[in-house]
Structure 1
Amino acid sequence: MNWQISGQILVQGLKGIEVISYITQMLEQGAKIVAGIDPSQEQDTIEAIPIFALVEEAIAEVGEISTSLIFVHPYKVLDAATEAIVSGIKQLIIFSQGVPPLDMIRLLRIAKEHDTLILGSGSGGILIPGELSLGIWSTEFYQPGRIGILTDSPNLSYEVALALQKEGLGESIVISIGQDAILGTNFEFWLEFLHEHEKTEEIALITRWERIELELINYIKKELNKPVIIYGYDLQKKGHTYLSNIVNIMANQLFSGLAIQELETTVKDLLTESDILLVNNPSQIRDLLKCHKAV
């Protein structure tokens, strides 16, 4: 299954000042939002978008929907997403953060049964600078270019985009995979998407250290022929007590008793030994891409 950018869009949870402000911006940035869902149906329209109580009612009125944008309360995500899936919508972007893990597990089973793709939960959406915004982006930070950004931190993607902007570099597409622990689609899925994306020449992957796994590194090495830069952050963020899977494997099998700092060094060494470029701050991404542009 491949993610399709085009098509009609539905919004579930279209109410409240914040969500409406996001929708207004999306409409200005080219999003084809044709219907909204609010079970209370307090208004008939919002920003000229017709409001319905049920997804099936919206589809009956406006026709086929390719993507649903879900802004409901985290505890209501399972019901809202299931309603969209059984109504035939094949792509969901879940912006709600803090969805109960068991709800996400159930949802992923349902999605698999119906061949439905999910971005999120806790996603910031998808952005094609100058063309399309499907999400909660501050679009002024981005400009059209050749670099695909894949991130689990929308805020850090702003910093990267600003650093690139200083060198006249821009983005072909920006994808926020989600901030929750259990996600609908993984990095490998979206890296393959960027690998096939014609306007993307280089890839910047922004993620927490514990998400840099051995399988991910091997996938990048074996399957991608576009330059990949990984910006890893938060290995020892205050309050975090976890280690990445790759660190756990090393700790259990090879390095029992080593301090976290030594394990961090081992992870960095593994990445350094590959063709994958590893950086510690946004300016390093900018400098590496600037050098690649000059080659």
Structure 2
Amino acid sequence: MNLTPDSKVLVQGITQPIGSYHASRMKAYGTNVVAGVSAGQGGREVSGIPVFDLVDEALRHTGSVDAAIIFVESYQVLDAALEAIDAGIPQVILVTGAIPPLDVVHLLRKAQATKTIILGPSSSGIIVPEKILLGTQETEFYTPGPVGLISRADVLTYEVALALTQAKLGQSIGVNLGSEPIAGSSFRQWLQILATDESTKAIVLVDQSGGGNHQATARYIAEVIDKPVVVYIAGRYTPMDQQLSDTSAQVAAQLSVPVTRSSSAQDKVRVFKEAKIPVAERPSQIPDLLKKALKNKD
């Protein structure tokens, strides 16, 4: 992946209040937001960004685009994302959450067939500090450096980024996979990307209870990744029947069945420790573990 200030970015749902706000933020950060799409709003401008009715129409004006950021309503996301994929956009970030699960499954099958990278649902996107912002990441917590940060958590991501920044361990990239159970990208996919990224010297994973594939992730790190990796799992002290990825899921669990032990934070910690991967007890411990891992690597 080669994200630079020259990478072209398209914002779908740009005339939505949240879309226009974050399109302006991205542009102010230096992101090359070349166009927006909002059906029925073509011909307008948002913060100097031209708006089109269709993705194909926008690309006829801008040429090929490197990433699309989607802010449309949840029931419109599938159509918007398929429109971006069909137009050949290689990376799609779904800021919108609460997308119907069958829509997400349909979208991910299409993305797999076309080798499109999907982040989300409920993703705050990607930041390459002081270079490019794709999504809603809070920029003040990040500073340039050698650490790749991949997270499934929400605001906790910023606490980890701040801890790294204060320890003078800047970030090569910050990636938020989204906090919902069905996610477009996996830790393993991004580990593979960062493994070959020359600017990334070490990697931090921030996970939480819920979801799966932690066994495969731990095995992949142990067998394939030769860069230092430190893991933090949120929610390890949360009662078992509340260990789900968001508030609505926790409420649903109280009315139905508790989360399985196989996806609990405690089980994830055990799996990573058994694979000899450093696991932080708290976010403030991550920098020390990272420095130790980097020293051992050297």
Question: Which TM-score bucket, shorter chain as reference?
Answer: 0.7 to 0.9
Give the distance between the partners of 1:4 and 1:48, measured in 2 at CA: 26
Shift of residue 178, structure 1, vs aligned partner: 1.2
Give the distance between the partners of 2:33 and 2:271, measured in 1 at CA: 45
- Residues 1:242 and 2:243 aligned together: no
Q: Which of 2, 5, 8 is matched with 2:3 structurally?
A: 5
Q: What is the RMSD of the two structures over their aligned residues, measured on CA atoms?
A: 2.1
Which letter does structure 2 place at the counterpart of 1:117?
A: I
Partner of 2:149: 149
SS in 1 for 2:137: coil
Shift of residue 165, structure 1, vs aligned partner: 2.3
Q: Summarize the alignment of residues 1-295 of structure 1 with structure 2, pairs less than 5 Å apart.
A: 3-6=1-4, 7-41=7-41, 44-210=44-210, 211=212, 213-235=214-236, 236=238, 238=242, 239=250, 241-243=258-260, 245=262, 264=266, 267-292=268-293
Q: 1:72 to 1:61 in 2, by over 3 A?
A: same
Q: Which deviates the most, 276-285 or 233-242? A: 233-242
Which letter does structure 1 place at the counterpart of 2:287?
A: R
Q: Give 5+ residue unaligned stretches, structure 2.
A: 243-249
Which letter does structure 2 place at the counterpart of 1:291?
A: K
* 8 Å Cα contact 2:16/2:72 also seen in 1: no
Give the distance between the partners of 1:34 and 1:286, measured in 2 at CA: 37
CA shift digits 1:247-269 (9 cap, x unpaired): 7xxxxxxxxxxxxxxx93x6544
Give the distance between the partners of 2:268 and 2:137, measured in 1 at CA: 31
SS in 1 for 2:155: helix
Identity percentage of aligned residues:
35
Partner of 2:247: none
SS in 1 for 2:75: helix
Which letter does structure 2 place at the counterpart of 1:5?
A: L
SS in 2 for 1:109: helix
Give the distance between the partners of 2:46 and 2:169, measured in 1 at CA: 36
* 8 Å Cα contact 1:233/1:280 also seen in 2: no
Give the distance between the partners of 1:178 and 1:29, measured in 2 at CA: 22
User: What number of residue pairs does the alignment pair up?
Assistant: 277
CA shift digits 1:22-60 (9 cap, x unpaired): 112211222111110111207610111110111111111
SS in 2 for 1:50: strand
Shift of residue 176, structure 1, vs aligned partner: 0.5
SS in 2 for 1:78: helix
* 8 Å Cα contact 2:280/2:289 also seen in 1: no
Q: 1:204 to 1:46 in 2, by over 3 A?
A: same
Larger Rg: 1
* 8 Å Cα contact 1:151/1:177 also seen in 2: yes
* 8 Å Cα contact 1:209/1:244 also seen in 2: no
Partner of 1:255: none
* 8 Å Cα contact 1:167/1:290 also seen in 2: no
Give the distance between the partners of 1:271 and 1:204, measured in 2 at CA: 13
